[in-house]
Structure 1
Amino acid sequence: MPPQPAVLLVDDEPRSLEALVRTLEDDFTLFTAHSALEALDILAAESVQAIVADQRMPDMSGVDMLKLVRERHPQVVRIVLSGYTDNHDIIAAVNEAGIYQYLLKPWHPETLQLTLAGAVELFRLQEENELLNVELKSSTPWLKERVAHKRAQATENSAMARIVRTAGSPMDAACQLLTRVAPFDIAVLLEGESGVGKELLARALHYASTRKDHPFVAENCAALPEQLLESELFGHKRGAFTGAYQDHVGLFQRADRGTVFLDEIGETSPAFQAKLLRVLQEGEIRPVGSARAVKVDVRVVSATNRRLVELVAAGRFREDLYYRLSAFAVEVPPLRERAGDIVPIAQSLLAQLAPACHKPAARLAPATLARLSQYRWPGNVRELKNELQRLLVLSDGDELGPEHLSRQVLYGAGENESAELEFLGGVDGDLKTRLETLEKRIVHETMTRLRWNKTRAANELGLSRVGLRSKLTRYGLEQ
């Protein structure tokens, strides 16, 4: 097995550093530093492929430190974490320092893992490129072209390879389509149910594209009211509206030369759709309250859990915007159509979730895996993730048995069966006692519905009047 890539983590806050370590320790060999000066000493002594640095540190800012790293160790791929969301100076400094990626706090574990995977891949390709440049100095032009094509193809495939699935999975078709379209600046629309992993695919598409060295930003269009969504995407000027105390750089501007992912695009208002259409047509944004337009170069990837064609037909989505966004549409299959992927996805999610619950050695029992595989997962991967978190919280040991699964997963129930199973699970006693409890409820429900007409109730229940009277007396229902 090849050695794990080496990554240096720099943060003066012990808890933040610990969170980074828990997220990355399974996939990388980690070095940690609590200050910029300590980090520079480690870089001088150790071979490191990537560095992740916090922006706010007492001795030196993250960006300033990474400028020094660029001068002394230019091959190391640089990533900065920052809590600032609208600071022009930081964004400019990030570009000046040649930083590979700029991640906002609070960072998402999957985002950080994918970013570092891309950084390590970039480091590998840089080393390979240096060797190839030496080897190909005397080679023929056609050989140079062939090697360059192979290298580009390997980068694209590595991004899609991180989408967890089994051989022959229905997800293969979506990944193959995205791999083909990745090198081209074409708008992509991802269609599929909520929770199927559309954002994960959008990130993989970004890292397989020629824009991989520039930012990827995401926004859920259904999570914000129209004015805030416009401000978040396009930015605003100070005083543009109540609460706008300073200028704000929007996501489109922060993602310049990168990718913008717009989730739940079908939930936007007609007014916002008109503004977004203009941005796509003109290639420029106008911050709220500004008289000046700003040119931006972004690739737009959008996603929806609704059929945009139907929304267009109903007059709730602009037809011209639909054709702009869906230049290349990809259908993402739900988890119930990918039964073979459930186990590897569950195990991958468990590896991510377990450290946060202080159970790094947690594993799924065979009986648990069987139950997970049999369930239809109407909430897709998001529901599966919630179920695994439940197991981690409720289980005492490292082996996660099926006894702590929710009832609908444990019994493979559909939505209509959940209430029934909830009742059955609450009935105490042995089998005979439980059956008598159910019989009492059935008799009582029938009598109440038929307004205590004993003749009709006896006929419906298949009893004689004497038999019905006996049960009413037995269960104390006669009165």
Structure 2
Amino acid sequence: MNAGLRLPTVLVVDDEVRSQDAMRRTLEEDFVVLTASGADDARTQLERHEVNVILCDQRMPGLTGVVFLKEVRERWPDIVRIVISGYTDSEDIIAGINDAGIYQYILKPWVPDHLLATVRNAAEAQTLQQETARLDLELRTATPVLRQRAAHKLERARRTFGFDRIERAAGSPMDSVCEMAARVARYDLSVLVLGESGTGKELLARAIHYASPRANGAFVVENCAAIPETLLESELFGHKRGAFTGAYEDHIGLFQRADGGTVFLDEIGETSPAFQVRLLRVLQEGEVRPVGATRAVPVDVRVIAATHRDLEQRVREGLFREDLYYRIAGATFTVPPLRERVGDIEPIARRVVDEVGIELGRPGASLTDEAMACLMGYPWPGNIRELRNELARALALSDSERIEAQSLSQRVLHGQAGLTATASAAALPASGTLAERLDAIEAMVLRETLLRHRWNKTRAAKELGLSRVGLRGKMVRFGLEG
């Protein structure tokens, strides 16, 4: 997420507070989330704020979701409208789905990752539609100057999601990954992105899309592990009315919506062999057959797939089709985990703090040297996603705009302390004078104690039998405080 860009705004309309809170928690990392308990409250929000996407529950006191969304279409036609319902409400929704211009309806109980991906796609579809309409208008009526401006706008959009958006330090292992991905982006090859969860595989996929000739097309995302297989086929390939229970109307799948663009299939390693057969056919024939349809529909998409699994191993185990593996792995890139690129932690952390600070209404937030030292020493099993959550929590709990070490969680401090103590013990000099060896041991004890006490100097000094001034002097001597 770029700190300089306005986050898309989502309005959640639901009369149940718990449902509002659940959707807010799911969406708030990527969107500005507004809430309303009914139609009247929602109208007030729409009159006061610029809203990109509206999520509306079907069953509300007074107006139903579909009836209210029909009004929204008439008064605010640019807003993407999504309705949430149970199967029992589907007939009511279908009866008014065309009049309301509903982008998609989500069945209860909804899955967080699926909800997030749907809203992301809706917001991006709106952005692309508006930008395309503006560019088309300018190009059709343009003077040479206006044509140049339109071209510059398109270039800015491509730079926004470029490879330089992937934060990293000079000499990072990500440099070679991004360099090779930028070369491949120009060609219409399928791409497979490997890496642990939270490493930023989707960021790399977006950069590839926006560096490709398909940059004007849609970039749609589906997490293959987030929804049941039957719904996954419907989401990707679409379905015809009556194809299965609850299919009360034709549904256009993401492959058709991404025609001319890119489909990003996250966690493809979790799919079943039966689904893999259908996906392979789509990739080979360049067409999709919606569930229950008798005819196939041609589509022109580029597929970028990602997984944290070892797909070659799953092929050997018979859990993943070999022919599909070679079809999606036209080019393969591995995003290394954060623990293998420790140098990237500092620039990523500083950027995250900038972004989170703006989101929380605390611009100008920063990290102390002690806090940064703790972040650099922790192995981050959850990678960038865990780092972001940690920093958001720390900033929310901090009393100032500077995140101190003591604001970090015990998990990070204890994990870092254990790691530091083990590493320090292993690194004790095997030779040297007695004074040099004692200094090394003293530095190790000081650092471990400070980390265990969350860099609280008063507590650390008390445990070590030192005055606060004495502790500060030793910290300076051993380079433990910048």
Which of the five TM-score ranges fits, normalised by the shorter chain? Answer: 0.5 to 0.7
Q: Tell me, which stretches of 5 or more residues in structure 2 are unaligned?
A: 426-444, 454-459, 466-482
Distance (whole Å) between structure 1 residues aligned to residue 421 and residue 96 of structure 2: 53
Amino acid at match of 2:155: Q
Provide, for residues 298-347 of structure 1, a one-character-per-residue CA deviation record: whole Å limited to 9, x for no partner: 65332123454565567664332122112243332332354444245445
What is the CA distance between 1:15 and its match in structure 2?
A: 5.5
Counterpart of 1:78 in structure 2 is 80
Select 1:218's aligned residue among 223, 230, 234: 223
In the TM superposition, 1:219-258 aligns within 5 A as 219-220=224-225, 228-229=228-229, 231-235=230-234, 246-247=246-247, 253=253, 256-258=256-258
Counterpart Cα distance in 2 of 1:201 and 1:251: 29
1:277-426 equivalent positions in 2, closer than 5 A: 277-282=280-285, 283-285=287-289, 287=291, 295=297, 297=299, 299-309=302-312, 312=315, 317-346=320-349, 364-385=367-388, 387-388=390-391, 397=399, 400-403=403-406, 404=410, 405-413=412-420
For residue 154 of structure 2, the aligned residue among 142, 148, 152 is 152
Distance 2:26 2:272 in 1: 37
The one-letter code sitting in structure 1 at the alignment partner of 2:131 is L
- The amino acid across from 2:231 in the alignment is E
Q: Give the match for residue 52 of structure 2.
A: 50
* Corresponding residue SS for 2:257: coil
CA separation in 1, counterparts of 2:264 and 2:30? 26
Q: What is the aligned counterpart of 1:129 among 135, 139, 149?
A: 135
Q: Counterpart of 1:302 in 2: which secondary structure? A: strand
Q: Deviations over 1:198-241 (max 9, x none)?
A: 24544666688568658532222xx78xxx53x2322599999x
- Once residues 139 and 240 of structure 2 are traced to their aligned partners in structure 1, the CA distance between those partners, rounded to angstroms, is 48
Q: In the alignment, residue 265 of structure 1 is paired with which amino acid? A: I
Q: Which amino acid aligns with 1:11?
A: V
From the superposition, tell whether residues 7 and 194 of structure 1 become closer, same or farther in structure 2 (CA, over 3 Å): closer
Which residue does the alignment assign to 2:437? none
CA distance in 1, matches of 2:389, 2:30: 23
Superposed displacement of residue 377, structure 1: 3.2
Cα 1:369–1:91 change in 2 (3 A) is: farther
Q: Could you tell me how far apart the structure 2 residues matched to 1:106 and 1:112 are? A: 11
What TM-score do the two structures reach when normalised by structure 1?
0.60
Q: Which amino acid aligns with 1:253?
A: G
1:28/1:148 CA distance change after superposition, 3 Å: same
Question: Which 10-residue stretch deviates more, 290-299 or 22-31?
Answer: 22-31
Shift of 1:252: 8.8
Contact 1:251 1:260 in 2 (8 A): no
Q: Give the CA deviation at 1:372.
A: 0.7
Coordinate RMSD, CA, aligned: 5.8
Q: Percent of aligned positions with the same letter in both sequences?
A: 37
Secondary structure at the residue paired with 2:372?
A: helix
Q: Distance in 2 between matches of 1:415 and 1:268?
A: 40
Q: Which moved more, 1:262-271 or 1:188-197?
A: 262-271
Cα 1:129/1:237, change in 2 over 3 Å:
closer
Alignment match, 1:195: 198
Change (3 A) 1:245 1:327: same
SS in 1 for 2:222: strand
